[in-house]
Every structure is written in C-alpha cells, then in structure tokens.
Structure 1
Amino acid sequence: MNQSVHFITLSAPDVDAARDFYTTGLGWTPLMYVPGDIVFFQVAPGVVLGLFEAGAFAADMEGGPEDARLSGLTLSHNVASPQEVDAVVDQALKAGARLVKSPKKADFGGYHGHVADPNGVVWEICHNPGWSVAEDGTVRLGPVEG
C-alpha cells in the first residue's frame, strides 16, 4: 500500500460553526461547502480536511453517536517563530476557539500552545526548529540544537 493520507474527516456537531471558524478566524478558503452537512479545505498538496456533521458521520459508518466522537487526536500547524505561535493562538481565540494550553516552551525544544475549535477539535500551534520540508515534500524531523 502507498504510504499516504488524502482525506482527514472529522465529526463536527456544528458544521456551520466550524466553517465560520476556519474561514473567518483562520482565513482558510473552503474547497466545498454544503451548509449543515460538510465542509472541505485543502490543507496540503493532495490532502483535504473535511468536517462532516456528526449524525451523518455516524450514519455513514453505520454506527451510533459514540462512533462520531473524537478522542486522542490533535492536528498541528507549524509556524516560523514563537511570536507567530502567539499571534495564531490569539487569532484563533478571537474567532471562537477555546484555549486548551497557553503557548509555552515545549519539552522538545520548540514552542507551542493548544486551542480547540468550536467543535472541540484540538489544534497544536507550534514552532518546531527541528521541522523542515524539502522541495520534494519530504519531512525532516531533526533534533533541536541549542
């Protein structure tokens, strides 16, 4: 099997609130939006993040409401500096996010904070000096020096 992920689909109790948060709060542009049902955002080359209404999400899996809950998941957005972490966290909070963890120095040597979107999806906003992406898209996770 090819080692890749093309869609990340999350259960969203309120798709419209999610759309508003990501578009107004973070400035993202929807790839497709069906009010009250689903919204898709392209988040990387060939990769889409979908927020699917929780009841429809569970029904699509032929499961119950417990199958539509998120647990043990964070999405991470890496930025260029600790100051940018602070700015993105502030912007997210103004757009309706809930502060989960105030930005601070991380054990791995970087700097990060956590916010939850209106549907409870937790985002880590992170500056990781050991993170880089080569021109071919290969990710490098190296030790942080200093």
Structure 2
Amino acid sequence: MEQSVQIITVATRDTDAAREFYVTGLGWRPLLDVPGEILFFQVAPGVALGLFDAVKFAEDLGGAAVTGPAGLTLSYNRDSPEEVDQCLAEAAAAGAEIVKPGQRAAFGGYHGHFRDPNGLIWEIAYNSGWSVGPDGRVRIGLIEEG
C-alpha cells in the first residue's frame, strides 16, 4: 500500500456548528456541503478534511460506536510566532476554545492549541526547522529522506 492520505474524515457531533465555525467564523470555502451530513474542505494540495455527522459516520461504518476525535491533533504551521498568535486569535474570535495559548514549544519553536466547537483540536505552530517544499513534501528538522 502506498504511503498516502487524500481525505481525513472526522466524526462531528454538530455539522451546523462546524459550518458556523469554519465557514462563517474562519472564512473557509467548502468543497462540498451537504447540510446535516458532511462538509469537505481543501486543506492542502491533494488533501481534504471531511467533517461528517457522527450518527451518519457510525452508520457508514456499519453501526460501530464513534466517540469523537480523541488523541488527534491537526497541525497548521506558520512562518513566525506572531502568525501563530494571530491564527489563535482568529480561531478564538470564530468561537474556538483556546486550549493552550501561544508559547515556546518543547520541540523548539513556538505553538498553541485550540479546540473547535465539536472538540477537534488544532495545533498552530512555528519551527524554523520545519517546512513544506515546492514539491509539497514536509521537511522536519535535519531529517532527510534517502
């Protein structure tokens, strides 16, 4: 199996709250918006984020229990600590709960976290050793792919 992900889908308790937060609050444009069911957003080249109604999500899995996005963080890397703080402020203004305000990070750099209205946690981070190249590949510190 190829090492690749094109869609990340998260069970969402309230698609209306997700729409209000991401579309109205943050100004994101959906790729697809099916009221009461699912929203898709382009979040990177070749990658979409789906916010799928939790009941319909469970039905799609054949009735398996769905408890929410525990132990999952989506990260958004910025170019400076000031941009991290700006993104956190924008998220808070849109209705996010700030879980961890911007601060120096144990891994180096600077980061903070917010929780969207459905419990999905985002990390906003800056680290000069992390980048995304013109080819779309993530580069972390001094790690080079052979």
| Fold match (TM-score > 0.5) | yes
State yes or no: 1:77 paired with 2:99: no
- Is the Cα contact below 8 Å between 1:57 and 1:68 reproduced in 2? no
CA RMSD of aligned residues (A): 1.2
Letter of the structure 2 residue corresponding to residue 11 of structure 1: A
> Which moved further from structure 2: 95-104 or 18-27?
18-27
Report the count of equivalent residues: 142
Letter of the structure 2 residue corresponding to residue 31 of structure 1: L
User: Which consecutive residues of structure 2, in runs of 5 or more, have no partner in the other structure?
Assistant: none
Aligned to 1:47: 47
Kindly state the Cα deviation for residue 127 of structure 1 after the two structures are TM-superposed.
0.9
Distance 1:89 1:104, change over 3 A: same
Distance in 2 (CA, whole Å) between partners of 1:14 and 1:44 is 24
Kindly state the Cα deviation for residue 16 of structure 1 after the two structures are TM-superposed.
1.3
Aligned to 1:107: 106
Counting aligned pairs with the same residue, the percent is 58
State yes or no: 1:133 paired with 2:132: yes
> Which moved further from structure 2: 55-64 or 118-127?
55-64
Give 1:1-146 correspondences, 5 Å limit: 1-64=1-64, 66-142=65-141
Distance in 2 (CA, whole Å) between partners of 1:74 and 1:5 is 16
User: Which consecutive residues of structure 1, in runs of 5 or more, have no partner in the other structure?
Assistant: none
- Is the Cα contact below 8 Å between 2:132 and 2:139 reproduced in 1? yes
